[in-house]
Amino acid sequence: MSARLGRRDALITLASSFAALAGAGCARGGKDGEASLWFAYGGTNREVLLSLVNRFNAEQSTYRIKAIYQGDYFEALAKLRTAIAARAAPALTHVVGEVVPYLAQAGALLPIDETHPVTGDVVAALGQTGCFVRGGERPIVCAPFNRSTPIAYYNRAIFDALGLRPPTTWKELESVARAATVRAKDGTVTRHGFTCPIDWWFWVALVGQAGGTVVEDDGTPSLGGEAGVRALEFWQRLVHEERTMKPPPGRDYNAWQATNTDFLAGRVAMIWTSTAFLKYLETNAKFPVGAAPLPGDVRRSVPTGGTMFVVPTASSEHERPAARAFLQWMMEPRQANEWATRTGYLPVSQKGLAELEASGYYREHPNDRVALDQLKDAFAWPWAPSLFRIQREAVQPRLEEAVLVRRDARATLDEARRAAGEP
Amino acid sequence: MKPKRPLDPYLFLAPTALVLGLFFFWPLALVFKNSFYRWDMLTPPEWVGTANYGQLLASGELWGTIGRTLSYSVVVVVTSLGLGLGLALALDRPGKLYAFVRGAVFSAYVVSWVAVALLWMWILDADGGLLSTLCRSIGIVPKNWLGDPAVALYTLAAVSVWKITGYSMVIFLAGLQDIPRSLHEAAALDGAGPISRFLHVTWPMLRPSASFVGTTSLILSFQAFDVVRVMTQGGPVKSTTVFVYAIYEHVFVNLRVGRASAMTVAFFVLLLGLTALQLGSWRLGRTGARRA
């Protein structure tokens, strides 16, 4: 009898243990005062962010942030959507600016107005108010984190040897790329004059420079009209006729990494990429790196990029105080400046920016100044929930096709417009 | 006859039925249901009838994806089968050297897909990769193995072949060791040469192994994802967007769960059709063998 009871007891204990383990596994969130931060950087930027998180955790004992790497921006976004659907989102994460209106419309983001004393200090063009058309007329749901613009990087050694200056117009870009391209006797190119990822962000810059707008303020995907066609044909001409631009292999951030690698290896004389890679390129190049604003066509124009901090609605309520405390701390001038000066991203705090100016930082680091000066040419994105889908589904895959296999630019953009109009 | 305990068979079946139902039939039913909705996982789903299927057919995406997946699979299955058989025949010998080579060939199979993909990305780099450098050193202009839309799919197929050929070889080796040596000796006494012995003794005895290798390689090639995700992300110009990657792109990149579900249903139907064909041909083969 006692043996049977013993077995039953053992079974009950085992079942209870499994239930407890399952419960622990399913329980959301950690201890009080703890919050998860999902982030999407590798390399130097990841190291800088982790060092800031460690400092936040060390400087006070009330809150603790657990930083969790989630792949690149788009992988992290895919995971975030799944986590939101499962009501298990982190208390704080960062997403690309273009997806904020979509997430906000879906009710996936909490307003972060209560942090306003700090977020109110942000550089206007980089926060929700200036980054989106009429962005200040709705609840603030995002705060600027790693914000950037595309800039031109050039190999100063090659440019000095050839007596070249960074181009200021498309025409100059063509001639500079031609002059910096080196061909072997059999005609194969051993060094390209120019490259940039065949990516929506750089195409948007070209469209703006050609005088167009990609998505109208009401969300209509005009894709720049004639300016869009001219932008695409400009790339096609550089790749196929001039053969001075190297289309980097791979998609998304693989192509961005390939662009950096080609530049550092001296296979390309000038690239366009994000200001985010400034410190990485300066540190790893075996030649002096120059930075310059993007050239203009009928005007100068650049999009802003990078990501915004957001607090998902589907996050655990008891994690939010820690998340908000960290968000406020990150927006303070000291941290905002440390993040900017150690990575190359733009400083997001107005007070912090004033401190940097006053300290003479930009006189000593003129490359850091380029993206900042370009902000006067930055345009505001429309607050269009369809913006992200237009980018990822309608335009991005077709740009690659148009440039690599030289598909008719007009037909490509007509098709992209139809795809963008799909519900 | 009335069974004493009529519920027992069902109780015995219950655990398997539960696992199958929970992890196979229920998700399949959900996918089928979702294929009739437009849903982004954040906003409520909206009924759209067969619009997702219509869109896949009208845009040509479905046929394009089927074409790419089948091209990839044919190259992977045929080449890994041929190479695996050739290696098994060449290495079915005693000795430490042969054992080492067998082990070396098989080792690629146990390495993770991500590691294999990263290794081959380095080898295939158009500028500084090992293969391109070798090509240049012997005066051949190298291809842009992963950047040329006409070449990239076959490059990925070649990487997959490199990885799974060791597996085919091991199955064929096991098959070869099951063939009684007396059959070869009898055939040799009857005057059969090596080719005749292969065609009339070895190959007929290896057919079950070949069928097994063919089926498993086909399944493996249809599931290709990791190698695409790491090496090309479906590009350039969608040239390596095979079925599983297309489904991933729809649900996680384009935020279209409905269209991804429609793709999954189409994928399921395609695999069902291929399995039926394979079963049919297997049955025909067995009937033919019995008649003979």
Q: Does some domain include residue B153?
A: yes
| Per-residue model confidence (pLDDT) at position A16 | 52
User: Residue B69 belongs to a domain with what CATH number?
Assistant: 1.10.3720.10
Considering all CA atoms of chain A, what is the largest pairwise distance in Å, rounded to the nearest integer?
A: 98
Contact by Cβ (8 Å): A260, A328: no
Pairing between strand A189-195 and A182-183? Answer: antiparallel
Q: Do A389 and B254 touch (CB under 8 A)?
A: yes
H or E, element range at A183: strand A182-183
- B38 falls within a domain: no
- Given CA atoms A325, A327, A332, A338 in this order, what sign does their dihedral have? positive
In CATH, what number does A34-148+305-377 get? 3.40.190.10
CA distance A75 to chain B (A): 8
Position B173 in a domain: yes
Please check whether residue B142 lies inside any domain of the structure. yes
Best of B144, B146, B252, B256 to substitute, by most chain A Cβ atoms within 10 angstroms, is: B252
Q: How far apart are CA A301 and CA B163, in angstroms?
A: 48
Tens of pLDDT along chain B (292 residues) come to 677 888 888 999 999 999 999 999 999 999 999 999 999 888 889 999 999 999 999 989 999 999 999 999 999 999 999 999 999 999 999 899 999 999 999 999 999 999 999 999 999 988 888 998 899 888 888 888 888 899 999 999 999 999 999 999 999 999 999 899 899 889 989 888 889 999 999 999 998 899 889 888 988 899 999 999 999 989 888 899 999 999 999 988 888 999 999 999 999 999 888 888 877 776 766 665 555 4
Q: Determine whether the interchain pair A188/B236 forms a contact, defined as Cβ–Cβ distance below 8 Å.
A: no
What's the structural domain count of chain B?
Answer: 1
C-alpha B13/C-alpha B277 separation (Å) is 29
User: In this structure, what token pair is assigned to residue B43?
Assistant: 């906003």
Kindly state whether B110 is in contact with chain A, defined as any CB-CB distance less than 8 angstroms: no
Nearest in space to A133 (alpha carbons), one of A392, A330, A380: A380
Could you write out the DSSP letters of every residue in A357-373?
HHHTHHHH-HHHHHHHH
Could you list the beta-strand ranges (E) of A246-304.
268-274, 289-292
User: Which SS3 state, helix, strand or coil, does residue A399 take?
Assistant: helix
Cis preceding linkage at A303, omega within 30: no
**CB-CB neighbors (< 8 A) of B238 in chain A:** 397, 401
Buried b (16+ CB within 10 A) or exposed e, A130-168: bbbbebeeeebbbbbbbbbbbbbbbbbbbbeeeebebbe
State the CB neighbour count (10 A cutoff) for residue B149. 17
CB atoms inside a 10 Å sphere around CB A228: 26
Contacts of B18 (CB under 8 A, 6+ apart): none
Task: Extract the tokens encoding A89.
Answer: 């989102």
In a domain, B110, yes or no: yes
Q: With left for phi above 0 and alpha for psi between -120 and 50, is residue A14 left, alpha or beta?
A: alpha
B130 close contact with A: CB closer than 8 A: no
Relative to beta strand A182-183, strand A305-310 is unpaired
Cα A285 from chain centroid? 22
A393–B contact, CB cutoff 8 A: yes
- Closest CA relative to residue A217, chosen from A135, A100, A109: A135
Q: Is 0.80 topped by the overall pTM? A: yes
Residues 6 or more apart from A300 whose CB is under 8 A from it? A209, A293, A294, A374, A377
Q: Does A402 touch chain B (CB under 8 A)?
A: no
Tell whether B71 is within 8 A of chain A (Cβ).
no
Q: Is B175:B87 a contact under the CB 8 Å cutoff?
A: no
Which residues does residue A189 pair with via DSSP β-bridges, in sequence order? A183
Partner-chain contact B233 A252, CB within 8 Å: yes
Chain B closest-CA separation from residue A218 CA (Å): 21
CA angle B92, B97, B102 (to 5 degrees): 50
CA–CA gap between residue A193 and residue A176 (Å, rounded)? 7
Contact A249 B254 (CB under 8 A): no
Asked if the C-beta of A182 comes within 8 angstroms of chain B's C-beta atoms, the answer is no
Report chain A's mean pLDDT, rounded to a whole number. Answer: 89
Whether A184 contacts chain B with CB within 8 A = no
ipTM of the complex: 0.78
In chain A, CATH 3.40.190.10 sits at 34-148+305-377, 150-302+386-421
3-state secondary structure of A195: strand
Cβ-contact A233, A240 below 8 angstroms: no
Name the DSSP class of A185: T
Token pair of B156, please? 């990925």
Q: The domain A150-302+386-421 belongs to what CATH superfamily?
A: Periplasmic binding protein-like II (3.40.190.10)
Contacts with A267 from chain B: Cβ below 8 Å:
127
Structural domain of residue B258, as residue ranges?
A: 63-291
* Strand blocks (E) in A51-176: 64-69, 92-96, 143-148, 150-155
Mark yes or no for CB contact B253/A262 under 8 Å: no
| Three-state secondary structure of chain B | CCCCCCCHHHHHHHHHHHHHHHHHHHHHHHHHHHCCEECCCCCCCEECCCHHHHHHHHCCHHHHHHHHHHHHHHHHHHHHHHHHHHHHHHHCCCCHHHHHHHHHHHHHHHCCHHHHHHHHHHHHCCCCCHHHHHHHHCCCCCCCCCCCCCCHHHHHHHHHHHHHHHHHHHHHHHHHHCCCHHHHHHHHHCCCCHHHHHHHHHHHHHHHHHHHHHHHHHHHHHCCCHHHHHHCCCCCCCCCCCHHHHHHHHHHHCCCHHHHHHHHHHHHHHHHHHHHHHHHHHHHHHHHHHHC
- Hunting for tokens 């009501």 — which residue is that? A87
Identify the segments of chain A with pLDDT beneath 70: 1-30, 113-120, 253
Does the beta-carbon distance from B42 to A81 stay under 8 Å? yes
Residue A249: the pLDDT is: 75
Q: Which residue of A has its CA nearest to B144?
A: A249
Residues of A within 8 A of B55 (CB-CB) are 422
Tokens of A146: 């790693």
Tokens of residue B64, six digits: 């394009």
Cβ of B255 within 8 Å of Cβ of A74? The answer is no
- Beta partners for residue A290, in sequence order: A154
A14 vs A225: CA distance, rounded Å: 68
Q: Is residue B98 part of a domain?
A: yes
Distance of CA A268 to the CA centre of its chain: 23
Which of A301, A337, A397 lies closest to A52 in space, CA to CA? A337
Q: Using CB atoms, which residue from B41, B147, B254 is nearest to A249?
A: B147
In a domain, B214, yes or no: yes
Q: Which of A186, A257, A267, A405 to mutate to test the interface with B (most CBs of B within 10 A)?
A: A405
C-beta separation of B65 from B241 below 8 A = yes
Please report, as a single letter, which amino acid is at residue B153: L
Asked if A302 and A275 touch (Cβ cutoff 8 Å), the reply is no
Nearest by Cα to B273 from B225, B238, B222: B222
Q: How far apart are CA B184 and CA B193, in angstroms?
A: 10
On whether any CB of chain B is under 8 Å from the CB of A421, the answer is no
- The length of chain A in residues reads 423
Residue of B220, B202, B201 lying closest to B212 (CA atoms): B220
